Amino acid sequence: MKFQNTREFAQQLDAQDELKHYRNEFIFPQHEGKDVIYFTGNSLGLQPKSAKKYVDDVMNDWANLAVEGHFYAEKPWWDYQERFAEPLSKIVGAKPSEITVMNTLTVNLHLLMVSFYRPTKTRYKIICEEKAFPSDQYMFQSQVTHHGYDPKDAIVEVKRREGEHNIRLEDILAKIEEVGDELALVLFGGVNYYTGQVFDMKTITEAGHKVGANVGFDLAHAAGNINLELHDWNVDFAAWCSYKYMNSGPGNASGCFVHEKHHHADLPRFAGWWGNKKENRFKMEPTFNPTIGADGWQVSNLPVLSLAPYLASAEMFAEVGMKKLIKKRNQITAYLEFILHEIDNEIDGTEFEIITPSNQEERACQLSVFLHGQGRSLFDYLMKNGVITDWREPNVIRLAPVPLYTSYEDMYEFGQRLKQGIQSLHK
């Protein structure tokens, strides 16, 4: 499609958008009486209007039924997480039995590493990406230290080549082969939070398994954003937060995937009674007898009030389907890229360097942009003028045009405010 940098063209794209009515299902912060342009769904998604009803339902059941809500609520609490299995399995490409929801993301990664990071004297190293999200870095460090290893030796980062912003797949595969028999675990982000690079999880998983390592992924920026086929890719485990692209609310519950090939394996895990077989759970037996499937990694009683808004969003995703989301994601991100280049060309002395890969297979719903010739003042201008975006040092803004609720006219209007900001700051 040949794009145009006009409001009329953007409005025409919106009129043709098969997802346009979903924008009205979300609540936008306001700026001077109008919806903000919201680019930070990769940090915290907007609130679905249906979320309040789902939370109110739990509150009403608590008020009217008290403890009996566990069994007699409209959505009984004791198996509340089971309602996620079907919709989330479609979002991440899994079987329903491979899905559970519990805790928060880094907690779940730690719990899953109990099962899947099992170092020995000779096989103890972890391969990860350079500049992984800090929580992942801290997790790796604490895990290897807990097992008695030196992080400088046990953690192997695949680095970017000099002068490049993204990690080459060939370098990841070469590093896996190089570490070889010493490699216990490969754990990457599905999408790098800083650059927006999408990793080839299928190929990475195959390479890790070839040398005898387990392979897992942190899907914080991937779930609800990119095509995932975790079961078919033979990924061992994965976890993701729900509050970014999946709009469940701040700090909310995390989804987990455990491949069915591990469901009957005698793997170590940190057990809790909610992972015990459902039919025996209230017998209060002294020995843990895990549920078969990902639910067997459950530990504690469910945080139902947290799960409620996540369920509201998960059901919306099930209604829309990832195929339609990805189709719009690709087009609206391409239009945003076009707008950025147009504004760059219109103003002398600017240079917007997009460090997110240009290849559609290697990027998703995010453009990370170096603002050469600009500074933090431009970000501050945008924030004060109704554009909510994200700043990362040293000089990068991250823009995430989430397909469920951003419009093509938002992209056009952002370009106009960006242009105004640059001009006003360089008078």
Question: Tokens standing for 395?
Answer: 């000089």
Q: Which amino acid is at 196?
A: G
341 is in an annotated binding site: no
Closest CA to 45 of 402, 326, 411: 402
d(CA 371, CA 364) in angstroms, rounded, equals 20
pLDDT at residue 427 is higher than 70: no
d(CA 67, CA 60) in angstroms, rounded, equals 12
Tens digit of each residue's pLDDT (9 = 90 or more) over 12-42: 999 999 999 999 999 999 999 999 999 999 9
218 is in an annotated binding site: yes
- pLDDT category of residue 124 using cuts at 50, 70 and 90: very high
Question: Tokens standing for 125?
Answer: 């190293």
With b for 16 or more beta-carbon neighbours within 10 A and e for fewer, the 240-257 pattern comes to bbbbbbbbbbeebbbbbb
Residues carrying CATH 3.40.640.10, the chain: 52-320
Tens digit of each residue's pLDDT (9 = 90 or more) over 76-92: 999 999 999 999 999 99
209 is in an annotated binding site: no
Q: How confident is the model over 169-179, as a mean pLDDT?
A: 98
Question: Tokens standing for 35?
Answer: 């919806």
* Tokens 């937060």 -> residue: 241
DSSP alpha helix (H) spans, 281-321: 304-320
Q: How confident is the model over 107-132, as a mean pLDDT?
A: 96
- Would you give the distance in Å from CA 368 to the centre of its chain? 16
- pLDDT category of residue 320 using cuts at 50, 70 and 90: very high
On average, the pLDDT of the chain sits at 95
76 is in an annotated binding site: no
CB atoms under 10 Å from CB of 339, counted, come to: 22
Q: Are 235 and 209 in contact (CB under 8 A)?
A: no
Q: Are 243 and 249 in contact (CB under 8 A)?
A: yes
6 is in an annotated binding site: no
13 is in an annotated binding site: no
135 is in an annotated binding site: yes
pLDDT of residue 131: 85
300 is in an annotated binding site: no
344 is in an annotated binding site: no
d(CA 186, CA 217) in angstroms, rounded, equals 8
DSSP at 395:
T
CATH fourth-level superfamily of 7-35+322-425: Aspartate Aminotransferase, domain 1 (3.90.1150.10)
pLDDT of residue 163: 93
Q: Report the number of secondary-structure helices (H) and strands (E) in the chain.
A: 13, 17
357 is in an annotated binding site: no
Question: Tokens standing for 320?
Answer: 């829309």
Could you please state the CATH topology (level 3) that the domain comprising 52-320 is classified under. Answer: Aspartate Aminotransferase; domain 2 (3.40.640)
Tens digit of each residue's pLDDT (9 = 90 or more) over 175-222: 999 999 999 999 999 999 999 999 999 999 999 999 999 999 999 999
d(CA 381, CA 421) in angstroms, rounded, equals 6
Residues carrying CATH 3.90.1150.10, the chain: 7-35+322-425
d(CA 39, CA 20) in angstroms, rounded, equals 17
pLDDT at residue 351 is higher than 90: no
Q: Are 144 and 154 in contact (CB under 8 A)?
A: yes
DSSP alpha helix (H) spans, 385-427: 408-425
pLDDT of residue 36: 98
134 is in an annotated binding site: yes
